[in-house]
Amino acid sequence: MSDTALPSVLFVCVHNAGRSQMAAAFLTHLAGDRVQVRSAGSAPADTVNPSVVAAMAEAGIDVSAEVPKVLTVDAVQASDVVITMGCGDTCPVLPGKRYLDWQLTDPAGQGVEAVRPIRDEVEQRIRGLIDEIAPAGQS
């Protein structure tokens, strides 16, 4: 199967330091090579939120080496599904793309205790997304 046949997902939030990083990490971890995964932010932070890094480590996923990336039109064009998480009007909308908006609490400034339920909700949403776009046994 060529890479172009894989479904591709772009997760977008303002800082690309919390929700979108967790979503991208869960999708990569759970779907493996069945999905192409990207994440970006309309105003990316310098680093991933340390509470997000800690909460994801508890789930067995290391995001400590991830770096927030700036959202580009190219990233949107290269994706089949664009999932926004609170970036509002700053997310480019292109025809022919599927858009979902996940209303998730922003983990910015929160401790790991507050990030855990956000992480768990992200994981559940990712599991549902995988069932829809890249079910197990499909390759």
Q: What does residue 16 show for φ and ψ, rounded to 5 degrees?
A: 50, 40
91 is catalytic: yes
Tell me how far CA of residue 102 lies from CA of 39, 80, 106, in angstroms. 14, 16, 11
Q: Identify the H or E element spanning 129.
A: helix 112-133
The pair of structure tokens assigned to 56 is: 């994801």
Q: What single DSSP character describes residue 63?
A: -
Tell me how far CA of residue 19 lies from CA of 7, 60, 107, 118, 120, in angstroms. 20, 17, 7, 8, 11
124 is catalytic: no
Contact 32, 1 (CB under 8 A): no
Active-site hit among 24, 53, 87, 112: 87
13 is catalytic: yes
Active-site hit among 10, 13, 17, 71: 13
Active site residues: 13, 87, 91
